[in-house]
Amino acid sequence: MRKLFLPALVLGVLFVALVSNLYFLHKELQDFYFAVIAEETRRVESIIEGTVAGGGDPVEAVSSYMESSPFLVGATFSLGGREIIIPGSAVGENYYRKTVKVEPFTFNLYFDFSYLEEFNKHVFYTFVALLFFSFSFTAVTVWLVRKYFEEKLLYEKEKQEKERLESINLVIHSLLHEVKNRLNTLNLLLHRIERNCENPYVEKLKKEVEGLGRYLEETADLRRPIVLEKEKVDIRELVEGTVAKFSHLLGVKEIETKVNIERALLEVDPEKLSSVFVDLIKNAIEALEGKEKRKLKIEGKREGNFYVVSIMDSGGELPDTEKIFLPYRSTKKGGFGLGLYNAKRVVEAHGGKIEASVEGGWTVFRITLPLA
């Protein structure tokens, strides 16, 4: 900050000097205008007085003088309560007006100095220089104060974002509460069915309902940290098992699917990580709706001390990548904008990261997880 004090001071002095120069130039030009107007007015008044005293026509005399004057561009005269414009006159608010009274006439004289190019050029060049130095001075000043306000602005932005999340969180809280009540009822019904029926799908349905209940618990309050229940999992089996849930839908949608996952043991929460893959695959299917080319590729491989899972669709479209993982910013009609946000929370809870991009016509979601 101290190193920049001297340049800022110099620019400030230059700025003041230019403003002062412009002010004195304007004053000098204004004084010149008034001096010329006063002299021209005196001459016209003398001509009118001489013409009236000699019994001549003062209107014709003023018209004749106006033709030879470089400054007088128009005149009117009043007689009997009426104002009459002398032929060939240019009158209006853009011209400077002076009034001359010689009984029984009253003349309004209009002067124009717009053609004085030398003065205009001087003012123009001075104004350009003033703008340049003003901009430089302003830029330096903004740069200086930015450092001071940077943390404050960041704090305000975070505060506003927190308030926005809290307000929206209250809106959906009632909805989530109602859904949880319905899930509890559904869970009780499944227990009754389980006692009277040994269908393997009942157990799967129970697990899905319980998983959905836990998901709602975590989603109901975005401030609550995600709790992981880690275990060693073969990532290939986890991904392929998740894709298998969509096998029927992928066939109905005629989406060509390729899965190439390298085997590796990762210590993860299989249920939560599977929910991330479910969200990304579901988004990919929706993105391919109505597309002529419908392809889905899922790849997984080791990269150093990390394992990278890439979910790619041939939609080749993606909204703003900087805001795509923010909560309550869904691009889908009727969406809450929580899917990708929760996916990001889950991945980061595992010590990894998730990225989105468009590469070679493919929409790519890349998940990086630590091996150890």
Q: Is the pLDDT of residue 239 over 90?
A: yes
Instruction: Over range 78-103, report the average pLDDT.
Output: 80
Q: What is the pLDDT of residue 296?
A: 94
Please check whether residue 58 is in contact with residue 104, taking contact to mean a CB–CB distance below 8 angstroms: no
Can you tell me the distance from the alpha carbon of 207 to that of 156, in angstroms, rounded to the nearest whole number? 43
- Given 65, 84, 116, the domain boundary residue is 116
Do 218 and 240 belong together in one domain?
no
Tell me whether residue 165 is in a domain: no
Mean pLDDT computed over every residue of the chain: 79
Instruction: Over range 215-220, report the average pLDDT.
Output: 62
* CB half-sphere exposure, 247, CA atoms < 13 A: 7
Tell me whether residue 140 is in a domain: no
Q: Please tell me whether residue 330 adopts helix, strand or coil conformation.
A: coil
Do 365 and 239 belong together in one domain?
yes
Q: For 90-94, 238-242, 296-300, which range has the lowest pLDDT when averaged over its residues?
A: 90-94
Q: Is the pLDDT of residue 309 over 90?
A: yes
Listed ranges 2-11, 93-102, 207-216, 300-309; the one with the highest mean pLDDT = 300-309
Q: Compute how many other C-beta atoms are within 10 angstroms of the C-beta atom of residue 148.
A: 10
Full domain range(s) for residue 3: 1-116
Tell me whether residue 170 is in a domain: no
Tell me whether residue 208 is in a domain: yes
Q: Smallest Cα–Cα separation from 107: which of 90, 85, 92, 129?
A: 85
The two structure tokens encoding residue 30? 């204004």
Instruction: Over range 71-93, report the average pLDDT.
Output: 81
Do 251 and 214 belong together in one domain?
no
Using alpha carbons, list the distances in angstroms from residue 15 to 19, 134, 138, 175, 339: 6, 6, 10, 60, 54
Q: Is the pLDDT of residue 12 over 70?
A: no
Do 203 and 249 belong together in one domain?
no
Confidence tier at 48 by pLDDT (50, 70, 90):
confident
Do 205 and 325 belong together in one domain?
no
Q: Taking the model in full, what pTM does it have?
A: 0.48
Do 279 and 214 belong together in one domain?
no
Q: What is the pLDDT of residue 317?
A: 81
Q: What is the pLDDT of residue 291?
A: 87
Can you tell me the distance from the alpha carbon of 231 to that of 268, in angstroms, rounded to the nearest whole number? 6
Confidence tier at 238 by pLDDT (50, 70, 90):
very high
Tell me whether residue 130 is in a domain: no
Do 215 and 235 belong together in one domain?
no
Do 12 and 103 belong together in one domain?
yes
Q: Is the pLDDT of residue 180 over 70?
A: no
Per residue in 119-164, pLDDT tens? 666 766 776 777 677 777 777 777 777 777 778 878 888 888 777 6
Q: For residues 225 and 307, which has the higher predicted lDDT (pLDDT)? A: 307
Q: What is the pLDDT of residue 264?
A: 94
Domain count, the chain: 3
Instruction: Over range 22-50, report the average pLDDT.
Output: 79
Do 212 and 317 belong together in one domain?
no
Do 358 and 307 belong together in one domain?
yes
Q: Is the pLDDT of residue 229 over 70?
A: yes
- Given 116, 143, 169, the domain boundary residue is 116
Can you tell me the distance from the alpha carbon of 256 to that of 297, in angstroms, rounded to the nearest whole number? 8
Per residue in 317-355, pLDDT tens? 887 666 788 766 665 554 556 778 888 989 999 999 999
Q: Is the pLDDT of residue 1 over 60?
A: no
Do 248 and 197 belong together in one domain?
no
Do 282 and 195 belong together in one domain?
no
Domain of residue 353, CATH code = 3.30.565.10
In percent, the amount of the chain with pLDDT more than 90 equals: 23
The two structure tokens encoding residue 322? 């900087």
Q: Compute how many other C-beta atoms are within 10 angstroms of the C-beta atom of residue 121.
A: 10
